Structure 1
Amino acid sequence: MDIPDSPWAFLSQMHDKVLPLVRRCLNRWLLQARQIPNPELRKQALASLEAKQFHCEGGAIYGLLANRDWQEAVRFIVAYQTISDYLDNLCDRSNSLDPEDFRALHGSILHALTPSAELSNYYRFRRDQDDGNYLISLVKDCQIILSNTLNYSKVAPTLHELASYYCELQINKHVKLEERIPRLKAWFSLHHKQFPELSWYEFCACAGSTLGIFCLISYSFNQEFPETLTMQVKNSYFPWVQGLHILLDYLIDQEEDRMNNDLNFCFYYSSEDELTARLQQFVEEATKSVASLPHSQFHQLIPQALLGVYLSSEKVSKQGAVQKIATRLIPDGSPASFFFQQGLLASHSTQ
C-alpha cells in the first residue's frame, strides 16, 4: 500500500478507503449501543457516536501505516476511540464526581491495550450498570486485534505510558469543580522537569490525544519495525502533535464549554494573541518533530490536516474570536492547510 505523501493523496485515500470502513465499523457499534438496557448508558453511548464520529474518521487515517493490515488497524482505532469518546461522555454528563469511579471506567482503556488482561466491571462505582456488554465488547475487539500484531511487545510499554497520561487527565479533570485545577497542577508538577517548555494546561492537552497510540499500533503490524521506532514516534508525537490536536479541539469548543461549565484549556491563556502564538508554535514544532520519522511526508501532513479538520468546523463561524484566530493560523501554515480546509468544507456541504 502507498502511504499518502501529498494533500491530494491523503484526502483521496481518506474518502475512498478509510471513511467507508470507519462508517461500517461505527454502524456495528451503533446497532449494539441501541440495545443497551440501561437508559442513561444507552443515551451517552449513542450521543458519543453521533457527536464524535469525526474523531474516529480522523484518527483512522493512521491505519494506512499498517500497509496490508490497514483494515485491522482501522477497526482497532474505531473501537478504541469509541471507548474514549463514550467514557468522556459518561464522565462529562453524569452525576458522578468520584475519581474512583472515573478510574474504574478508564481501566477499560488500559485493558483494551493489554490482550492478556482480565476484564472487570468497569461500572462498579456507579448506579448505572447494565450496558448489555457494550463496553466489554469494545475492549475485547481491541484485545483480539492487538494479539495479532507482529510487534506488540515492542510498543506495549509506550502504549501504556501514553494511555496512562490520558487516563490521569480524564480522572482529574472531571472531579468537583473546585478540585480540578489543583489536581491537574499537582499532576503536572510530577512531569514538569521532563516538559519545561509546557504550561500545566498545555501538558494536559497533550495527554488528551490518542494519535501517538494509533500511530504506534498501526506500525506494529509491519514486519519491518526498527528498534528505535517506538521512541521516535513517542518523542515526535508527545508533546507537539498531540498538543496541537487537543488545543484545536478545545479552541472550537469554547462556547459550548462555557455554557456547560466544562474545563477548557484555551481559557487559561492570558490573551487571544498568546493563544494564537502558542498554536502557531505547536504547528511549527509538530511539523519539525515528525521530520525524522519513516514516511515523514505523511506525518508532516498531520498538523496541516488537523488545522483543516478543526478550522473547517461549523463551530468556528459561530464564534467571532475563534474565527479571527483561524484566519491567522491558516495563512501561517503551508498551502496544505488551506487545501485540507477547503476540501473538508466542500465535503461537509455535500453530506
Structure 2
Amino acid sequence: MKVPTKPWTLLYKIYRYVLPDAQSYLEEWKEKAIKIPNDELRAQALASIQDKAFHCEGGAVYGLLAKEHRSKIIRFIVAYQTISDYLDNLCDRSTSLDENDFRALHQSMFHALSPGAELENYYRFRDDQDDGGYLASLVMACQEVLIELPGYTHAKHLMRQLAEYYCDLQVFKHVECHKRVELLEEWFKKHKENLPPMSWYEFSACAGSTLGIFCFAAYAANGELSKKQADEIMNGYFPWVQGLHILLDYFIDQEEDLEANDLNFIFYYDSKEQMVERIRHIREEAEESIRGLPDWKFHRLINKGLIAIYLADEKVQAHKEIKKTAKQFIRFGGLPTVFFYLNSWMYRRA
C-alpha cells in the first residue's frame, strides 16, 4: 500500500481503511469502559471516548505510514491516545490537585512504551481506585504492539523523551492554579538552550502532542530504524509540528477553558495579532522541518489537515471572533487546507 501524497488519495484511504479500524478499536475500549466498577472512573473513561474520539481518529492516519502493518499501528495509536485522553479527563475534572497523583497516573504512559515493564497501581494517590483493569489493559495493548516492531530499538528512547515532555506538562498544568505558570516557566528554563527561540507557553504546547510518538511507531513497523533515521523523525516533529497541533487545539478551546478556569496557552500572547503571527511562523517552521523526512509530502498533508480538522470544529463555528481568526489560519494552508476543511466540516455534521 503506497503512502498517499495527494489530498484526495489521503481522504480516500482515511475513509476506506483508517476510520473503520480506529472506530472498531474505540468500540472495544468503550465496551471495556462500560464495565468499570468505580462510578467516577467509568464516567471519565466514557466521556473521554465520547468527546475526544476525533483525537484517536486523527492520530490513526499515521497508520498509513506503516503500510501493510496499518491495523496493528492503529491499534497502538488508539490505545495510547485513549490513555492520554482518559488521564487528561481525570486530571482536568479531578478533585485532586496532587502532583504525586498526576505523576502516578501518567507513569502508565511510560509503561505503555516499555514492553515488559511491570504494571503498577496508577491510582494509588486517589480515592477512586477500581477500574476493573481498564488502564492496565490499555497499557498492555500498547506493549503488545511495540514489542513486535523491528524498528522499536532505536525509536524507544526518543518516544520516551516525547512522553516525558508530555507527562511533565500534564503534571504542571493541573496542579493548583497559582503554581502552574511558575512551574511551567522553570521547566522551560531547563530545556531552553536546546530549543529554537520560543516562549515558555509555546514550548508547553510543543510538549503536549502525541503525534511524534505515533510517527515513530509507524516507521518502526516497517523495519529497523537507524539512529540517523530516528533523529530525523524527532527533529521533523519536535518542536514545530507538535506545537502547531496543540496550539490549534487550544485555539478552539478558548471559550470552554475560560469558563472552566483551565490553563490555555493562547491566552498568554500579548494580542490576537501576535498570536496569529506566531502560529503562522510555527506553521512555516513545521513545513520546513518535515522536508528531511521520508514521505515528506504525506507529512505536509498532515500539517495542512491539522489546520482544517481543528478549524472545522463546531466550537469555532459557533463563535464569531474565533471563526474570523480561523479564516486567516485556513488561508495560511492554501488550497489543500480549504479542501480538508470543507471535508471535515461536512464529516462532522454528518
| Residue aligned with 2:221, SS | coil
Q: 1:116 to 1:277 in 2, by over 3 A?
A: same
Instruction: Give the stretch that moved more between structures: 106-115 or 3-12.
Output: 3-12
Q: Which digits, 9 at most, give the CA deviation of each residue in 1:192-215, with x for residues without a partner?
A: 111141100000000000000000
| Residue aligned with 2:8, SS | helix
| Residue aligned with 2:94, SS | coil
1:51 aligned partner, one-letter code: D
Q: Which digits, 9 at most, give the CA deviation of each residue in 1:114-156, with x for residues without a partner?
A: 0020000000000000000000000000001111111111101
Q: Which residue of 2 aligns with 1:203?
A: 203
2:25 aligned partner, one-letter code: C
Deviation at 1:172, TM superposition (A): 0.5
| Residue aligned with 1:334, SS | helix
Q: Which digits, 9 at most, give the CA deviation of each residue in 1:55-106, with x for residues without a partner?
A: 0000000011111111100000000000000000000001000000000000
Q: Which residue of 2 aligns with 1:101?
A: 101
- What does 1:165-176 align with in structure 2 at a 5 Å threshold? 165-176=165-176
- What does 1:27-66 align with in structure 2 at a 5 Å threshold? 27-66=27-66
Q: Which residue of 2 aligns with 1:67?
A: 67
Contact 2:152 2:225 in 1 (8 A): no
Contact 2:66 2:219 in 1 (8 A): yes
Q: Which residue of 2 aligns with 1:341?
A: 341
Question: Are 2:17 and 1:13 aligned?
Answer: no
Q: Which residue of 2 aligns with 1:155?
A: 155
Q: 1:339 to 1:33 in 2, by over 3 A?
A: same
Q: Which residue of 1 aligns with 2:296?
A: 296
Q: Which residue of 1 aligns with 2:129?
A: 129
Q: Which residue of 2 aligns with 1:325?
A: 325
Q: TM-score, normalised by structure 2?
A: 0.99
Cα distance in structure 2, aligned partners of 1:93 and 1:269? 26
Deviation at 1:320, TM superposition (A): 2.3
| Residue aligned with 1:190, SS | helix
Deviation at 1:224, TM superposition (A): 5.5
Question: Are 2:256 and 1:264 aligned?
Answer: no
Q: Which digits, 9 at most, give the CA deviation of each residue in 1:310-332, with x for residues without a partner?
A: 01111102222211211111122
Q: Which digits, 9 at most, give the CA deviation of each residue in 1:15-60, with x for residues without a partner?
A: 1100001000000000000000000000100000000000000000
Contact 2:63 2:70 in 1 (8 A): yes
Cα distance in structure 1, aligned partners of 2:137 and 2:332? 44
1:65 aligned partner, one-letter code: L
Cα distance in structure 1, aligned partners of 2:235 and 2:229? 10
Q: 1:235 to 1:26 in 2, by over 3 A?
A: same
2:118 aligned partner, one-letter code: E
Question: Are 2:222 and 1:235 aligned?
Answer: no
Q: Which residue of 1 aligns with 2:212?
A: 212
2:70 aligned partner, one-letter code: W
What is the percentage of aligned positions where both structures have the same residue? 51
Cα distance in structure 2, aligned partners of 1:157 and 1:225? 12
Runs of at least 4 residues off by over 3 Å = 224-227
Cα distance in structure 1, aligned partners of 2:159 and 2:171? 18
Q: Which residue of 1 aligns with 2:110?
A: 110
1:35 aligned partner, one-letter code: K
Cα distance in structure 2, aligned partners of 1:300 and 1:147? 29
Cα distance in structure 1, aligned partners of 2:228 and 2:67? 19
Q: Which digits, 9 at most, give the CA deviation of each residue in 1:269-304, with x for residues without a partner?
A: 000101111111111111111012100110111110
Question: Are 2:25 and 1:3 aligned?
Answer: no
Q: Which digits, 9 at most, give the CA deviation of each residue in 1:211-257, with x for residues without a partner?
A: 00000011001125344111101111111100000000000000000
The count of corresponding residues between Structure 1 and Structure 2 is 350
Cα distance in structure 1, aligned partners of 2:225 and 2:92? 38
Cα distance in structure 1, aligned partners of 2:159 and 2:84? 15
2:4 aligned partner, one-letter code: P
Q: Unaligned stretches of 5+ in structure 1? A: none
1:333 aligned partner, one-letter code: G
Cα distance in structure 2, aligned partners of 1:59 and 1:144? 19
2:179 aligned partner, one-letter code: E
Cα distance in structure 1, aligned partners of 2:9 and 2:265? 33
Q: Unaligned stretches of 5+ in structure 2? A: none
1:195 aligned partner, one-letter code: L
1:54 aligned partner, one-letter code: F
